[in-house]
Chains A and B, each alone.
Chain A
Amino acid sequence: MKNIILIFTLMVFASVSTVAQTPKGDVLFKGGDVITITNGTLESTDVLVRDGKIARIGKNLKAPRGVEEIDISGKFLMPGIIDAHSHIAGSAINEGTSQVTSEVSMEDVVDPLDVSIYRALAGGVTSIHLMHGSANVIGGQNETMKLRYGTTNPDDLRFEGAPRTIKFALGENPTRGGRSRGIQPQSRMGVENMLRTSFQQALEYKKKWDAYKADKSPRKVAPEYDLRMQTLVDIMAGEVLVHCHSYRADEIYMLMKVFSDFNIPKLTFQHANEAYKVAPELAAFGASASVFADWWAYKLEVYYSTAYNAAILTENGVLTSINSDSGELIRHLFHEAAKTQKYGDLSDDEALALVTLNPAKQLGIDNRVGSIEEGKDADIAIFEGHPLSIYAIPVMTFVDGVKYFDKANDGDDQRLYVSPTSTIEEINIFDRETQHRCMEDAFVMDFNQLFSNQN
């Protein structure tokens, strides 16, 4: 019922508002401990939000007429958590028909009805990077989103103005895909070759278009437009940020050499369990890493991991974030960040930056979110207890100054849509294995497996 009201309100708001497509809030937070990330923690400080932006940070701020005041004394206010690697709210993950699929995009498969969005909000998360899977070397484009739960329109979840990003993948996953189809790549040699060949083809594609554009002849004929190639050209122009699934140090090193040769300046390694082994090289190159706090040993290429990865990278000057890649972990990324204090003694600010400012930088949205600063979007999480404490409980989450989660009003059943054909509700016993969605749908389902339902 609450949801219906919420949807209705949002719909009314959307139809009334002419400037903004999504709602923007006004609110005054009174007297919380404000964890700014960029400017330390300000004790008992007020934060004023106007029209979805942080307008003022200071003491004794007065609420303008009509602006709601929320007393958060004794609580902590921090920037909304950003997950640089997520597959929630995606109705498909892998386009596995080719080893290069830069033409597809996750923007086409956003599912605004996924209740995982609400559960992520309940963990203080305000933005996610909905990523393509890791079945192919050059995967699809990703979608950076704000968790404006309650809408049925996928476009309302888009992080408007965020740079385009794309998924690449190295190692076991793409080579496994190659082996299952009997095509290249079946080895890390093949992965490198596929990358170099693809970029070379894109350069030739660009050359044709450059020649066409330069041609003064009235009878010139345009080359065939190829979205796959054009996306690779855009990558080389720095317009699309590459986020590459990777684990082993050697493959991480390889990709830096390839990018160096093709003059591609920006690069984030996803997972990167062995990034710690080439931390000095990553720092020298200026590449960044988005890692797990402690996942390891689920496959061979993560067997030589260490939970100290994020700390080693941070101490070596590598821009590092901690991500979830899971509908479960995303709900406690603040706790995942805290693990860097056990494994590597990071400071409070360093640890919290791993799930706020640093992922914002990796996604190119740090001018908008990731810290509590005047002028930034009011994407805010309120905690009872310090967010790095095990006893911390997120109690409110705001996107653009609009409250999307409030523990005090957390009712039963936060689904937006219930299938009319389902007679009984499905019961899924949690299994961490199925949380890895990276390879989902990547393989052709065996016919017998699909239709046999007998034990």
Chain B
Amino acid sequence: MKKIKQISFLLLVTLMLPLLSFAQEDDQVLKARTGKFALTNAKIFTVTNGIIENGTIVINNGIIEAVGANITVPNDAEVIDVKGKEIYPGMIDGGTTLGLAEIGSISESNDFRETGQLTPQMQALTAVNPNSVAIPVTRVSGVTTVWTMPQGGTFPGTAASINLFGYTPDQMFAGSKGIIMNYPSMNSGRRWRRLSDDEMKKRQEKALKQVNDTWDKAELYAKLESAEDLRNYPEIEALVPVVKGDSPIFIEVNSAKDILSAIEWVKGRGYAKVIFTGVAEGWRVAEEIAAAGIPVITGPVQAIPTRQSDNYDAAYANPGVMSKAGVKVALRTMESENVRNLPYHAGFAASFGMGREEALKAITINAAEILGVGDQLGSIEVGKKANIFVATGDPFETATKITDLFIDGYKVPMTSRHIRLYDEFLNRTPSVDKNKKAIDIKK
């Protein structure tokens, strides 16, 4: 195992040397390019149609044109021989603030929180900064699509799926949006003063009443929509597609009690497309979630259990428990700058009960389907968008490297600020002057 690792490491270094020196050239701007590509001799993990040993993928004009073991490479395609490597559909993170947050502590650089409890018309897509430094940092790890979410209040806004390449929000838009609702929680106590059970219950009931009043208005608005002189009411209007069943609602709910309450609420309301997000204590009520048929986006997986009395691995095991109970599960990191760790969250879920195959689905096809882009993304199939990456091996394994990346059919350069800083500082010039030390210590 170790020897193989060492040899492959040496091989890798040799292979990467020309790459590194290429990146170091002055004034070299690396640009993405599109066209017709053929990736040959690959082990292809299609996710939906098994694994193809020694297969070929043809990408043309942004779309996967052909996939299989016996594909004729078109004459005009740029051939990229990826012998010994594996190809996967781009990974999809089901919950982030990527593009909306640049530097955590600097509020001026964060655009995911609007004031007020009822702001569902706030569009995350509008505030996505295509030039966020975190975007290339993320995509070179094989994450090609994320769900980027507004936060705060009961209805923080409308989330959007975005691909991690493009120069305007519209170029990045992956095709789906959804209303976020933070389900009123029984656990609204503050750190400084704990609330009693009764107090919390009263609070939740009050908050739920507000939520129901809001949806009542939205239902009324939907009925009146044909009326000509309908008053401008953007926050209620934003909820109408949910009422009509045209667009999904993503309900953030975490504790077991709240999840059960939310299941009842969903039944009562009868909206067609409902997704639960967070679901940190889903493992306690997995059967009930499965019975309700509500899909789940859960995570972070690398997280501390919700209760002091929980087993240390409760959060690691949570996706697996739900998945085994029959819940359709996708994963999320809830990160902005470290969305790149998505495969590791999936890896931990895999190790702690979910299994590798289900965990891979959770960050590809399941995520795509839950986010409403399953017809375009999440697997390697003819006709789907060419969001794929090439890896030196299992992408969940920490040491695995991503060597090639395609988003929307664009071959995106494998560079980011983290990589450029590595290239510049690994062997810094000038280094220290041994004869003239600025720092000298008399030991």
Contacts and interface: CB of A to CB of B under 8 A. Distances in A.
Contact of B439 (A172, A260, A410, A427): A260
A294 interface: yes
A342 B340 CA distance: 12
A306 B441 contact: no
Interface in A372-416: 386, 388-393, 410, 412-415
Contact of B440 (A260, A308, A338): A260
A117 to B, nearest CB: 11
Interface string A105-123: 0000000000100110010
Interface string B104-121: 111000000000000000
A242 interface: no
A122 B312 contact: yes
A390 B396 contact: yes
A328 B312 contact: no
A47 interface: no
A224 interface: no
24 contacts: A259-B441, A260-B440, A265-B441, A294-B341, A297-B102, A298-B105, A303-B133, A306-B418, A306-B419, A312-B425, A315-B426, A332-B302, A332-B348, A339-B398, A343-B418, A347-B6, A390-B344, A390-B398, A410-B312, A430-B300, A432-B300, A451-B193, A453-B190, A453-B193
Given A257-B439, A263-B442, A265-B443, A388 B300 contact: no
Instruction: Name, among A118, A303, A343, A388, the residue most crowded by chain B CB atoms within 10 Å (CB to CB).
Output: A303
B437 interface: yes
B97 to A, nearest CB: 11
Which 9 residue pairs are nearest across A and B when measured between Cβ atoms?
Answer: A390-B347, A298-B104, A338-B398, A341-B399, A308-B422, A297-B337, A430-B303, A299-B105, A306-B421
A305 B350 CA distance: 30
A412 B337 CA distance: 34
A430 B103 contact: no
Contacts of A256: 439
B400 A426 contact: no
In terms of DSSP, what is the predominant structure of the interface of chain B? loop
Contacts of A259: 441
Contact of B311 (A392, A412, A424, A429): A412
B421 A424 contact: no
B167 interface: no
Contacts of B441: 259-260, 263, 265, 285-286
B421 A308 contact: yes
B351 A312 contact: no
B334 A427 contact: no
Interface string B418-443: 11011001101001101001111111
A429 B421 contact: no
Contacts of A37: none
A429 B134 contact: no
A341 B398 contact: yes
Interface of A: 41, 115, 118-119, 122, 172, 253, 256-257, 259-260, 263, 265, 276-277, 279-281, 283-286, 294-300, 303-308, 311-312, 315, 327-328, 331-332, 335, 338-339, 341-345, 347-348, 386, 388-393, 410, 412-415, 423-430, 432-433, 445, 449-451, 453
Given A280-B432, A412-B311, A426-B194, A297 B401 contact: no
A285 B432 CA distance: 11
B22 interface: no
B83 interface: no
A115 B310 CA distance: 10
Given A122-B312, A306-B422, A390 B303 contact: no
B197 interface: yes
A415 B308 contact: yes
B417 interface: yes
Nearest to B203: A455
A335 B396 CA distance: 11
Given A263-B441, A415-B309, A430-B315, A423 B398 contact: no
Nearest to B430: A280
A188 to B, nearest CB: 17
Contact of A300 (B105, B133, B398, B401): B105
A335 B312 contact: no
B116 to A, nearest CB: 12
B364 interface: no
Interface string B266-300: 00000000000010110000000000000000001
